[in-house]
Amino acid sequence: MASLLKTLLLGASIALTGAGAHADNSTPVRLIVGFPPGGALDNLARSLAEDLRTALGESVLVENRPGASSRISIEAVKASRPDGRTILLASTPPFVLFPMTYARLNYDAEKDFIPIAHLAYVPSVISAGANQPFKTIPEYVAWLKKNPGGGSMGLTNLGGGLHFSVLQLSKAIGVPLAPVTYRGGAPLATDIVGAHVPVGTDALASQLELHRAGKLRILGVAGTRRVSWLPDIPTIKESGYDAFDRANASYAAFVPAGTPKEMVAKLEAAFVAAMRKPQVRAQVDRMGLEPTGLPGAETKRIMDEDRAYWRPIVKASGFKSED
């Protein structure tokens, strides 16, 4: 009798385990995005979700969890079950720069997450209103040295790569540059066009169409090579200043630490394959992003290099976030 009871209990346990696994697999795969709908990363997530539904053979949903400079979304994914069904799509500064600027974070950028794929670079630019008296970075620097009171530079947040690049440029030209923050790319672009701020720096995507329409002028692009959308616009490095060499952020996909290796490998393959498909790359290109599609190990290498580059610069700046 005892043996029969043990057998029945074991069978019930196995049945329940199987039912639990089935219930888990029937829930959608969620792509968590720390920004509101309509932005570049949200649009990228929706393009990927469409492709992943076929590649994974499962329902894939995009869930927006904006707020606190994307930390809400990061903490939500950290707290999720490490089963590969909750995936964070995020920019890299919260993993590279936030640990250097925040006194306290509710996540460990290097221990709590596994990078599974590098998705795209986010090209950035320095621009000015179309009626400003300078058309290039050297002309802007010459104007600034004659008008040091005009050293305001608009940007959308402090503590990111563009902020520290502005500080590096200020040091290189020997003229104080005062970062002026805006609540998003749209109000920043409006003030650049209206000449309420002499120049601004932001993602190319928020300024490309205004440049094409002649409402503002892009003076230079960040990074070490020109971008395909603006082949005639030199890099800031080509103009004589390397302060913006690593200013461009990246978008990448992450899962919580503890996710099984086989699941990490499966998701990595799916994301890399999706980012290499012509239709996805074409959609990403239209967003003003540079599609990549690199594996997790390469993503980690890029972030490690960024950390090594920015650490002494951030330390020398003395900047600490109060957000």
**Which pLDDT does position 5 carry in this prediction?**
42
pLDDT higher than 80, residue 266? yes
Render 140-192 in DSSP notation, one character per residue. HHHHHHH-GGG-EEEES-SSSHHHHHHHHHHHHHTS--EEEE-SSHHHHHHHH
Pairing state of beta strands 152-155 and 178-181?
Answer: parallel
Mean local confidence (pLDDT), 24-51: 90
**What average pLDDT score do residues 119-145 get?**
96
pLDDT of residue 215 exceeding 50: yes
Nearest partner of 108 among 75, 84, 80, judged by Cα? 75
**Which range has the worst mean pLDDT, 27-31, 94-98, 155-159?**
155-159
CA 65 from centre of chain: 15
How much is the average pLDDT of 231-246? 97
Over residues 270-316, the pLDDT tens digits come to 999 999 999 999 989 988 999 999 999 999 999 999 999 999 999 99
- Is pLDDT larger for residue 69 or for residue 115? 115
Q: Which of 192, 138, 132 is nearest to 169 (CA)?
A: 138
Work out the average pLDDT over 38-52: 92
Least confident of 28-32, 211-215, 318-322: 318-322
Cross-strand pairs, 294: 118
Residue 17 has pLDDT above 80, yes or no: no
Q: Give the whole-number percent of the chain exceeding pLDDT 70.
A: 92
Q: In this predicted model, what pLDDT tens digit does every residue of 166-180 receive, in sequence order?
A: 999 999 999 999 999
Give the lowest-confidence range in 4-18, 23-37, 44-58, 150-164. 4-18
Looking at residue 29, what is its pLDDT? 97
pLDDT of residue 25: 63
* pLDDT, position 21: 37
Residues 255 and 86: beta-carbon distance below 8 Å: yes
Q: Give the pLDDT confidence score for residue 24 in this predicted structure.
A: 54
Do 124-221 and 28-121+249-317 have the same topology in CATH?
yes
Rounded-to-integer distance, Cα 92 and Cα 90, Å:
6
pLDDT at site 322: 75
Backbone angles phi, psi at 126, to 5 degrees: -110, 130
pLDDT at 22 over 50: no
**What residues contact 156, with CB distance under 8 A and at least 6 apart?**
162, 181, 182, 183, 184, 185, 188, 202
CB count, 10 Å around CB of 252? Answer: 27
pLDDT of residue 26: 72
Domain extent listing, the chain: 28-121+249-317, 124-221
SS3 21: helix
Give the pLDDT score at 221. 98
Report domain 28-121+249-317's class: alpha beta
Query: Is the predicted pLDDT of residue 16 greater than 60, yes or no?
Result: no
* 14, pLDDT greater than 60: no
pLDDT tens track for 48-98: 999 999 999 999 999 999 999 899 999 999 999 999 999 999 999 999 999
Fold assignment, 124-221:
D-Maltodextrin-Binding Protein; domain 2 (3.40.190)
